[in-house]
Amino acid sequence: MINLDECYKLVMELVDEAGKLVAARNSQRKTVHIKSHPTDFVTETDQQVEKLLMNGIREKFPDHQFIGEEETSEGKKLFLLMPRLGLLTRLMER
């Protein structure tokens, strides 16, 4: 059985680390990659944050599955990684 308190603690630590990454890059110029449509895009920071979260979770829970904005994996248990709300608005304002 999965220990939800352990999962929560890890996720909160990773989110804190991801927040520091985003804050450090917040004032920097963004590299934006257009995917299927001009409003469907991803920044390098988006990709780095998702990778940080997935790698951190995978290290502690190697059999867990991910559904992320940019990548998915296979496994028995599921972590759903959602993009930060308001990113489109923030990028469009710059």
Closest CA to 2 of 64, 74, 67: 64
d(CA 69, CA 50) in angstroms, rounded, equals 8
Residues contributing to the annotated binding site for Mg(2+): 69
Q: How many CB atoms lie within 10 A of CB 54?
A: 20
Distance, C-alpha 87 to centroid of its chain:
12
Residues contributing to the annotated binding site: 69
